[in-house]
């Protein structure tokens, strides 16, 4: 039993709370012989849920072995991410179907929550750190090929929905219960509205890799922010977004439609140096990842504990909204909110312990300490 902490629950922040863990689950009644851990002066929040992550700990989800992927997963667990969707980057279709097979096995084992295919169906005008030679227009048959290869573990596909075949692909994804995400797009406002009406429900790293907001040509940003059906991803690392853009997104999308993501690549939790992101070489310097050729930002080295701390201490966002953006909102988006995303009896005992300055002190996943606060 965790006692004395400030807990962030669906109803708000509860002082001097108790969180009772029995096996892998949170429960409502403590046994007489329960071990009590005093966390007075700390916060206890739900485990973080990252729906867009390419790797960490020096390991790539796009090209690494199964052991590499597990290493990357563990790196992010050490930083509070107890549920993670593994993201790929643009590659040829045969390679992506092979990766889908490997990653689906890890999903079946419970190591990851599913697969996110970011590319190759994206705009060459907004490709970012994706190989131009491997991009292609969306094709419903090829999208279906990826879904089938993932054996029921495909969670999301990022598309430039304005490209030929984009709307048909969105409809196919919606029919199969896979999230269609608008991203790496050069769409107009009207084209984005059409995609949302067809079933798109996520904005892939809003603001990044899409046209800027204009007063005569509002583009995709306005359409994605204004529609209550759309969850917007935000990378809160201090590099991808100006604080004013972050505040704008929270103002319009509110506390229920924002999902903080890492968009992390191999260097997350590992360090500066040279890395490969798919077929492209990346230089990480000062924690910022950029392509060696072209200088585009190439994902991030962010971990979600840092995103949390920055959001509360620098951006001055309400703690409850930040917790929702890191846990409840992405859990709901994945259809997993009956199991994760909040500190409620019956849900998995996935939780994060933070000190008074919102620094990470402990991580529990499925009732087991990944980072024990008593040893810190």
Q: 360-363 long-range CB contacts below 8 Å, 24 or more apart?
A: 360/79, 360/80, 360/305, 361/42, 363/47, 363/77, 363/78, 363/79, 363/80, 363/82
In 3D space, the residue among 235, 227, 217, 218 whose CA is nearest the CA of residue 252 turns out to be: 227
Strands 59-60 and 55-56: antiparallel
In 3D space, the residue among 18, 20, 39 whose CA is nearest the CA of residue 31 turns out to be: 20
Q: How many Å apart are CA 156 and CA 291, to the nearest integer?
A: 25
Which positions are catalytic? 263
> Does residue 269 contact residue 56 with C-beta atoms inside 8 Å?
yes
In 3D space, the residue among 197, 178, 109 whose CA is nearest the CA of residue 333 turns out to be: 178
Quick one: tokens of 58? 């020096």
> Does residue 267 contact residue 57 with C-beta atoms inside 8 Å?
no
């Amino acid at each position: 039993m965790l006692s004395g902490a400030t807990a962030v629950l669906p109803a708000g922040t509860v002082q001097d709370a108790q969180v009772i863990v029995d096996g892998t689950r949170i429960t409502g009644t403590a046994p007489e012989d329960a071990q009590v851990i005093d966390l007075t002066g700390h916060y206890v929040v739900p485990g973080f849920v990252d729906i867009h992550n390419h790797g960490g700990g020096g390991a790539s989800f796009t090209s690494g072995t199964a052991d590499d992927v597990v290493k990357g997963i563990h790196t992010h667990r050490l930083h509070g991410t107890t549920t993670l969707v593994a993201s790929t980057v643009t590659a040829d279709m045969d390679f992506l179907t092979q990766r889908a097979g490997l990653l689906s096995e890890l999903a079946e084992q419970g190591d990851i929550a599913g697969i996110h295919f970011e590319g190759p169906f994206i705009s060459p005008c907004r490709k970012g750190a994706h190989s131009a030679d491997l991009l292609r227009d969306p094709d419903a048959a090829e999208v279906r090929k990826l879904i089938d290869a993932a054996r029921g573990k495909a969670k999301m596909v990022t598309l430039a929905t304005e490209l030929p075949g984009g709307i048909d692909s969105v409809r196919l994804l919606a029919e199969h219960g896979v999230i269609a995400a608008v991203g790496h797009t050069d769409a107009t406002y009207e084209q984005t509205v059409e995609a949302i009406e067809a079933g798109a429900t996520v904005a892939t790293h809003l603001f990044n890799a899409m046209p800027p907001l204009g007063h005569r040509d509002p583009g995709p940003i306005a359409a994605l922010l204004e529609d209550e059906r759309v969850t917007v991803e935000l990378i809160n690392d201090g590099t991808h977004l100006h604080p004013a853009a972050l505040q704008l997104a929270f103002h319009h999308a509110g506390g229920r439609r924002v999902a903080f993501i890492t968009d992390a690549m191999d260097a997350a939790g590992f360090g500066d140096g040279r890395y490969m992101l798919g077929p492209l070489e990346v230089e990480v310097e000062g924690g910022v990842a950029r392509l060696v050729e072209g200088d585009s930002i190439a994902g991030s080295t962010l971990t979600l504990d840092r995103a949390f701390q920055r959001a509360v201490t620098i951006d001055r966002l309400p703690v409850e909204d930040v917790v929702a953006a890191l846990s409840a909102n992405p859990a709901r988006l994945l259809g997993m909110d009956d199991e994760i995303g909040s500190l409620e009896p019956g849900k998995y005992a996935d939780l994060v312990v933070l000190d008074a300055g919102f620094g990470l002190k402990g991580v529990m996943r499925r009732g087991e300490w990944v980072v024990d606060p008593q040893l810190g």
